[in-house]
Amino acid sequence: MGTKEEAQGTLSSTDFGVAASAFILNWNTICSSFPPWTWVLSHHQVEGYLSLENILLSSTQEEHGELSCPGPGKHSLQEDPIDVDDATLVHINPCKVHYYDLHIIYCNSYRVPVLYFRAYDSDGEPLEFDEIEKDLPAYSKKALSDSKWTFITQEEHPYLNRPWYKLHPCGTSEWMKLLFHADDALAKTGVAIELYLVAWLSVVGHVVGLRIPFEMMKQL
């Protein structure tokens, strides 16, 4: 990642590939009990994106942890296996269980990754936005209602020709800039690219209530 891009919080398409590669290796090693991220190729094998599908985000999640129970054949994203106990599991209404597909796609225009997602219920029916909104942490709901520029919109997936939800990228470089400048050590050791996605996802994931396992965060 060139110093200029680092300073701006953006990254090139090539760097995104490097960052994604590092992210997958790290995630799949450190968080082996979690569902794995995969790299999907598109556009004649030159462009690619990160994919995590069929993950469970229960609508009864709280801000500081996620309750999730594995559905049959579906992956679950548990904060820490020890924390989930049977008593909690019983209270989750199976009808309110929501599944999410997450794709992290590089945006050539803004030069940052962008999160695309879609949500569906246990019957595979797509969720309406107001149901998704209920899944969002309280601070996101507030930001959505306050903001002049809606930051979650329904747009066409860049490769799949289907409507997905997208988190608007135009503020990304600003807070990525802050994240990297906050840590001189990070900039100097030059591991900035490799950690870009962990840092990015720690913020973006927060918006949709996705928690990054602590072990991944320790690297930052």
Partner 1 sequence: MEEAQKYVWEGAIPLQIHLHESEVTTLPTPPPALILAPRIGYLPLLVPQIKPHFSNALPPGSPDTVWFDYNGLPLKWYIPTGVLFDLLCAEPERPWNLTVHFRGYPSNILVPCEGEDSVKWGFINSLKEAAYIINGNCKNVMNMSQPDQVELWRSVLNGNLEAYVRISSKLKLGTVGDEYTDSGGQGQVKTGRVPVRLYVWSVSEDFDDLEDAPQIDSWDKISYINRPVEIHGEEGNYFTLQDAVKSILPEYFPNKSSTNEESSRDEDENEQKVPSEEGEKYLSENVESFYPSDNVEIKLVRIQGIEPKMEIPFSWVVKNLTNPEHYLHICVCLKVPQVL
Residue 148 Cβ vs partner 1, minimum distance, rounded to whole Å: 9
Spatial CA neighbour of 173 closest among 156, 196, 153, 150: 196
Residue 220 binding partner 1, by CB under 8 A: no
Residue 151 binding partner 1, by CB under 8 A: no
**Count of positions (residues) in the chain:** 220
Instruction: Name the strand (E) or helix (H) holding 193.
Output: helix 192-207
Could you say which of 86, 149, 185, 188 contacts partner 1 (CB under 8 A)?
149
Q: How many whole angstroms separate alpha carbon 60 and alpha carbon 87?
A: 14
Per-residue burial over 61-70, b = 16 or more CB atoms within 10 Å of its CB, e = otherwise: beeeebbbbe
The CA–CA distances, whole Å, from 117 to 29, 91, 208 equal 24, 27, 10
Footprint of partner 1 on 80-119 (CB under 8 A): 108-110
Could you say which of 62, 83, 155, 215 contacts partner 1 (CB under 8 A)?
155
Per-residue x/- track, 31-70, partner 1 (CB under 8 A): --------x-x-xxxxxx----------------------
Q: Are 173 and 7 in contact (CB under 8 A)?
A: no
Residue 107 Cβ vs partner 1, minimum distance, rounded to whole Å: 8
Active site residues: 170
Could you say which of 126, 190, 217, 219 contacts partner 1 (CB under 8 A)?
126
Identity of the residue, 85 or 128, whose beta carbon is nearer to partner 1 in the bound complex? 128
Q: Are 126 and 134 in contact (CB under 8 A)?
A: no
Q: Are 59 and 135 in contact (CB under 8 A)?
A: yes
Spatial CA neighbour of 140 closest among 92, 198, 204, 77: 204
Q: How many whole angstroms separate alpha carbon 73 and alpha carbon 179?
A: 37
Could you say which of 65, 70, 94, 163 contacts partner 1 (CB under 8 A)?
163
Identity of the residue, 159 or 209, whose beta carbon is nearer to partner 1 in the bound complex? 159
Identity of the residue, 18 or 143, whose beta carbon is nearer to partner 1 in the bound complex? 18
Residue 220 Cβ vs partner 1, minimum distance, rounded to whole Å: 21
# residues near partner 1 by CB under 8 A: 30
* Residues in contact with partner 1 by the rule CB under 8 A: 8, 13-14, 17-18, 20-21, 25, 39, 41, 43-48, 108-110, 126, 149, 153-156, 158, 161-163, 170
